[in-house]
Amino acid sequence: MSEPNYVVIAASLRGERMGRVLADWAATRTPAPAELIDLAETTLPDDNLLQPGGGQATELTDRLARADAFVLVTPEYNHSYPAGLKRAIDWHYREWMFKPATILSYGVQGGLLAAEHLRGVLAELHMVTTRRVVGLTTPWYDLGPDGYAPPDSVTKGFDLALGELAWWTETLRTARRDRPYAR
Ligand X SMILES: Cc1cc2nc3c(=O)[nH]c(=O)nc-3n(C[C@H](O)[C@H](O)[C@H](O)COP(=O)(O)O)c2cc1C
Binding mask 89-108 for ligand X (x = CB under 6 A): ------------------xx
Does position 17 bind ligand X by CB under 6 A?
A: yes
What is the size of the binding site for ligand X (CB under 6 A)? 14
Does position 171 bind ligand X by CB under 6 A?
A: no
25, 69, 72, 76: residue in contact with ligand X (rule CB under 6 A): 76
β strands within the chain, DSSP E: 6-10, 34-38, 69-75, 100-107, 128-129, 134-137, 143-144, 147-148
In whole angstroms, give the CA distance from residue 167 to residue 177: 16
Specify the stretch interacting with ligand X by CB under 6 A; choose among 17-25, 61-69, 87-95, 115-123: 17-25
Does position 14 bind ligand X by CB under 6 A?
A: yes
In whole angstroms, give the CA distance from residue 64 to residue 127: 13
43, 48, 78, 153: residue in contact with ligand X (rule CB under 6 A): 78
In whole angstroms, give the CA distance from residue 66 to residue 24: 20
Does position 38 bind ligand X by CB under 6 A?
A: no
79, 123, 156, 171: residue in contact with ligand X (rule CB under 6 A): 79
Nearer to ligand X, 48 or 78 (CB): 78
Amino acid, single-letter form, for residue 96: W
With a CB cutoff of 8 Å and minimum separation 6, the contacts of 104 are 22, 26, 71, 72, 73, 74, 133, 134, 136, 158, 161
Whole-number minimum distance, CB 26 to ligand X, in Å? 13
6, 25, 70, 77: residue in contact with ligand X (rule CB under 6 A): 77
Distances, alpha carbon 140 to alpha carbons 17, 22, 25, in Å: 10, 10, 13
Positions in the binding site for ligand X (CB under 6 A): 12, 14, 17-19, 75-79, 107-109, 111
